């Protein structure tokens, strides 16, 4: 399949979305297998990778829907038909309101994307069009980082200005939209910048925020931050921080957070209160990936943190995913890790990943793995037995 390129200037969201660089890049309006090779990996026998290149963009979310894989990037969402090897890209030129995609999934049986500045968009398969929900419809903010549908039909949406709950999933009924913020929860939600959502084992809602982890159950809020055990201490990770950019110098918001944590003198990318990734495992354990403070696990009573000292490949944790076997995968700034028998088994670019910055991942029913990084996706076929 041939590639046609054109130069455009776009905003690329670097790492977890805190720093925006405007650069000139090549946008590829087609998406196909361009590299295929077999590698011997640390976690299995020899397996074949296919690399899918998406240009100089981050792959922030991946969702497999039957024979279609949806890939959310900082340059639009890609619809890839696995059987036909055909592709279509949706962006601000043909249906979406923003090119930045941070969430792809299904709500009420329909493909839904959360965008960076364009709100929530729901795909209509029959007409090949998108329906948009933004601030006038009830969204707290046009920047969407995640969404989940819970057992009672409610939809929860993570935004940069609190978290929305849409009772019964009635997106078209404005009266069904609620917005929870730091102010109206009396601090129960520790920060209005909500980066992730997860359903608990007993129906509770877990929320990843820039000020810690929150839990909502039976109308009650609880939260945990670094002072309560979340994230590793700076002294433990300071020598392993690879990102030297100080987000505290980028905005008053981040500077205020640093002052509140007593981190005024820390000039690298470290904030253990900032939960980037969230996963509740099938046993009910809550896993939180932090910005420089490693990976933390909460068993309902106490926190345990894991860093590069314990074998985690990087202390910036961008992604958490539990596969159908109950295995936990951790995407970091320095590779992908599998948590197995109390240890981390690590995969890097040398083993077949597209890039060591791993932002997204999903596993398909057939056991195949789709791993999103900067610049592309590594597709890992299942081992034939």
- Report pLDDT digits (tens) over 313-350: 999 999 999 999 999 999 999 999 999 999 999 999 99
- Burial-class residue 196 by CB neighbours within 10 Å (0-12, 13-18, 19+): buried
pLDDT (mean) for 11-26:
30
pLDDT for the residue 246: 66
Read off the pLDDT band of 11 (50, 70, 90).
Answer: very low
| Secondary structure of the chain in HEC code, one letter for each residue | CCCCCEEEEEEEEECCCCEEEEEEEEECCCCCEEEEEEECCCCCCCEEEEEEEEEEEEEEEEEEECCEEEEEEECEEEEEECCCCEEEEECCCCCCCCCCEEEEEEECCEEEEEEECCCEEEEECCCCEEEEECHHHCCCCCEEEEEEECCCCCEEEEEECEEEEEHHHCCCCHHHEEEECCCCCCCCCCCCCEEEEEECCCCCEEEEECCEEEEEECCEEEEECHHHCCCCCHHHHHHHCCCCCCHHHCCHHHHHHHHHHCCCCCCCCCEEEEEEEEEECCCCCEEEEEECCCEEEECCCCEEEECHHHCCCCCEEEEEEECCCCCEEEEECCEEEEEECCEEEEECHHHCCCCCCEEEEEECCCCCEEEEEEEEEEEECCCCC
| CA–CA dist 36, 78 (Å, integer) | 20
Query: Could you report how far apart the first and last alpha carbons of the chain are, in Å?
Result: 31
Query: Residue 27 domain-assigned?
Result: no
Task: Give a yes or no: residue 26 inside a domain.
Answer: no
Residue pLDDT, tens place only, 145-177: 999 999 999 999 999 999 999 999 999 999 999
Mean pLDDT for 93-101 is 97
Which carries the bigger pLDDT value, residue 48 or residue 17?
48
Cα–Cα distance list, 351 to 47, 71, 311, 380 (Å): 10, 22, 17, 11
Q: What is the mean pLDDT of the chain?
A: 86
Query: Which of 49-58, 132-141, 238-247, 295-304 bottoms out in mean pLDDT, i.e. has the lowest?
Result: 238-247
Band (385; pLDDT cuts 50, 70, 90): low
Length of the chain: 385
φ, ψ of residue 136 to 5 degrees: the values are -60, -30
Mean pLDDT of 103-112: 98
> Is 362 in contact with 63 (CB distance < 8 Å)?
yes
By percentage, how much of the chain surpasses pLDDT 70? 85
Phi, psi dihedral angles at 201 (to 5 degrees)? -65, -30
Residues whose CB is less than 8 angstroms from the CB of residue 256 and which lie 6 or more positions away in sequence, other chains included = none
- In this prediction the pTM is 0.87
Domain contains 21:
no
Is 322 or 259 the better-scoring residue by pLDDT?
A: 322
> Is 265 contained in some domain?
yes
CATH of the domain at 292: 2.130.10.10
Residue 41 lies inside a defined structural domain of this protein: yes
Euclidean distance between CA atoms 273 and 294, whole angstroms: 11
Residue 119 lies in a domain: yes
Written as six digits, the tokens of 304 are 């345990």
pLDDT at 41 over 80: no
Q: Which pair of tokens denotes residue 78?
A: 């890609």
Residue 7 has pLDDT above 50, yes or no: no
Phi and psi dihedrals of 255, rounded to 5? -65, -40
Does residue 218 form part of some domain?
yes
**pLDDT classification of 381: cutoffs 50, 70, 90:** confident
Range of the domain at 150: 33-380
Q: Is residue 28 part of a domain?
A: no
Residue 267 has pLDDT above 90, yes or no: no
Mean pLDDT on 48-64: 92
- Edge-to-edge strands, sheet with 101-107: 101-107, 110-115, 120-124, 129-133
Q: CB-hemisphere CA count at 13 Å for 326?
A: 6
The structural domain count of the chain equals 1
Cα separation, 343 vs 220, in Å, equals: 35
- The residue-averaged pLDDT of 55-80 equals 96
């Amino acid at each position: 399949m041939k590639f046609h390129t054109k130069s455009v200037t776009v905003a690329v969201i670097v790492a977890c979305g805190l720093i925006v660089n405007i650069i000139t890049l090549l946008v590829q309006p087609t998406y196909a297998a361009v590299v295929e090779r077999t590698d011997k990996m640390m976690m299995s026998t020899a397996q074949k990778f296919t690399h899918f290149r998406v240009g100089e963009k981050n792959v922030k979310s991946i969702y497999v829907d039957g024979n279609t894989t949806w890939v959310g990037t900082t340059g639009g969402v890609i619809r890839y038909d696995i059987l036909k090897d055909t592709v279509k890209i949706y962006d601000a030129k043909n249906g979406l309101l923003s090119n930045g995609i941070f969430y792809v999934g299904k709500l009420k049986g329909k493909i839904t994307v959360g965008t960076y500045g364009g709100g929530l968009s729901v795909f209509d398969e029959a007409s090949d069009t998108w329906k948009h929900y933004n601030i006038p419809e009830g969204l707290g903010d046009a920047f969407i980082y995640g969404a989940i549908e819970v057992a009672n039909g409610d939809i929860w949406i993570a935004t940069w200005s609190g978290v929305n709950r849409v009772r019964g999933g009635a997106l078209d009924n404005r009266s069904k939209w609620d917005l929870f913020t730091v102010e109206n929860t009396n601090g129960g939600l520790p920060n209005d910048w909500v980066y992730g959502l997860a359903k608990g084992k007993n129906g509770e809602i877990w929320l990843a925020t820039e000020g810690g982890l929150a839990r909502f159950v039976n109308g009650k809020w609880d939260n945990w931050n670094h002072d309560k055990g979340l994230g590793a201490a700076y002294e433990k990770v300071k020598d392993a921080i690879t990102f030297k950019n100080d987000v505290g110098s980028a905005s008053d918001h981040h500077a205020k957070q640093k002052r509140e944590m007593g981190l005024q003198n820390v000039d690298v990318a470290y904030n253990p209160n900032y939960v980037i990734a969230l996963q509740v495992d099938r046993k009910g354990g809550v896993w939180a990936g932090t910005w420089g403070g490693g990976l933390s696990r909460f068993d309902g009573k106490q926190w345990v943190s894991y860093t590069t000292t314990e074998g985690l490949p990087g202390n910036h944790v961008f992604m958490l995913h539990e596969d159908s076997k109950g295995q936990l995968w951790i995407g970091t700034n320095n590779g992908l890790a599998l948590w197995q028998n109390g240890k981390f088994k690590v995969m890097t670019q040398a083993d077949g990943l597209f890039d060591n910055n791993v932002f997204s991942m999903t596993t398909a029913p057939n056991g195949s793995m789709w791993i999103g990084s900067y610049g592309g996706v590594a597709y890992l076929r299942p081992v034939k037995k």
